[in-house]
Structure 1
């Protein structure tokens, strides 16, 4: 029993001991864990201190870097500000220097002006002395003239007044006669208008086709711009071209009237350019007329080339081609001369082919037979002889020139082709409606009017406008004064009265224009 108790006590004691040992091991493990935890805390504290130190160092470095950059930026701003201040000071100094120089220049100019004023005053005094001397000389000369002529000043004045009175009496008589015929003229004009209206519905136009061109306008407002302020634009166009610009009630149209076809074509082309451009003033008008003149010259050459191409003629000198093209703007008794020349060429070639003559020679001679009509304004020689001389000068064969000089029987025929040219010319001119006698007479009268005006000294150019009812004369302002223009217009009118026969009356207008041109640089 005791043994069992002892065994039991031993077992209990062993259990207690093992339990104590287990608890001890658990306690030791917990103590070890606490020690490890304390070490970890210590390490964390050390690591935290290191991180804090590094963060503090980085913050200080960043602060230093920001401070340095801020100082650099401030220095740069200060440096830029100093440069701007320096530039502003330099600019102010330059302006001050310029102002000083300008003041000095103004002072010198004022000094010169004062000197000029003194000089002008001296000149005025001298002029006053000269005027008094001239007046004394004038009085002396009048006294001497009275002694020489044995007439007093009053007597001489009365003689001049009597002569002027006679001239005025003549002018009054002319005016009275014109008024006496006015009623008759008005009656005749009404009759002619009625008859012409009836005839015009059944007949083709001749003179109007040769002397009138119509320029279409975009609107009627353009008419006022063509006329210009106080009529300066229309006067410039008429004086530069020699064409009469007629602006009437015709809607959206302007009529150009002139017997010279080249002048009228230049005016028409220039006016169309001005209307399309919209800017119309004297300077622009001059530019447009110059450009139109070049274009018309080009058109003349093209017309000559077209005529040669139509007849198949080659090997022609360029100058001959140009003069041939000019025939496009000439008429003979209402017939276009270039069209007539081409027709004569065809007719002469056809006749030559029929009789077995030289077709090419007949064609060439026929085309060139009236080429001298372009040159007749330069001399009084007939157009046939002028044309032959011109053709020989530019390398045409003698037989071709003979066709021109012999077609009016002024020179003997040298070949059968020249005879054919004369026959073809007669056929072309005599066919019904080809020509009209009154147009040639009309043109000759206009040319004679221009020749009379151009014969006076100081006349630069003259133009017969309004179908010969008005003469527009441009004079040289350096030769003819304002006072002499009245005398010149009267002298021209008297010469026209004495040398020409014409219906109605002719208005003579003398234009004296002074231009001053300067360029702004």
Structure 2
């Protein structure tokens, strides 16, 4: 046990001795490194000092070189600046000499201007004195002229102005005539080309007046059956259809008379079916008339749809389509209104294509322009205004409504489309074979034309020719001048437009001639 303790103590002492020895060795090594580091630091400092001395000497040398170079550059700039200053001084001296010369010139001109002003003052005084003398002479001459002519200067001035005004009016009338002739020549040429093309591309049918319908009978015995006992059958037919049956001495025929074409067509169909069936009594009459009315309504709708299809117009309200179909049974001066509307539509489309405007809108306005005639026997007013109201009611565009209202001057035409519908309507109604006119109306129209022509001063006689398409007005050459004759023709035309209603156009031809007659004896 003691040995182990002694060994432990010996080992501990050895360990302590080793540690102490290690510490001494480390300290010795650190001192050695420190001495070496100090020596290296001294060497580095010495080398740094040497390098600093070298750099300082180099910097001094470079600074001296820079100073020398800057000095040389400054001296060169100074020499150039001195040369520039010397050249500017020379230029300034030259400018001063030039200014001196100009000053001298200006002074000499001032002297000349002063002399001229004196001369002008003298001339001005002389001109004023001469002007006074001239005014005095003019007054004396004016007084002498007034004394010789017997009129004052104001009267002479007024006469001169009147003469000049008369001459100016005469020249203006000549100018107006020339301008009108040129405008008419160009406009007529273009209008005739368009109208001729429209006429060539469309040919309408000849139509006749149709206000009555004739139903043939298999025998005259059927007249008694139509009349019925105590006339009950004929009264039932007239009550159901709203038309008149005329049964007279006409052999094997019954005349259906009425101004409502739709009712007249219903009556015709009903009577034909009653005659074919043979059963004619009030109950059967009412049944047949109702069926006929339904068939006519269907045919009206189909006719309207076919018309819109033929023209190529779509999107029309169904009620307007029915109105168009009703025109199938409406006539005007013997012309079927549906055929007339189709004709106007085609003519509008042709002329619109030539003028470069919307063809579909033109055809639409032409087709609808007379829809007012479908209900004009039921509504008061002009058919143009009625048609425009109907078109507006069923959603037609404003320019279409205006074209319908203006095609008979119920409104003033304000668009090309309205003028186009007017022209196509007149063209369709005025073409040969389109319409027939009653003799009394025709004679009255001719008389009204001659009355209007003779109502103007200076007119000696007036004749309506060409079936009322032209009037020739003979005027007195003493009362009406050549220039005034053109104004007279225009006034007569305007009065005809305002007071009369007529298809197409009327030519007013004013004739003025001077005849000199002498006899040789």
TM-score, reference length from structure 2: 0.43
* Structure number with bigger Rg: 2
TM-score, reference length from structure 1: 0.43
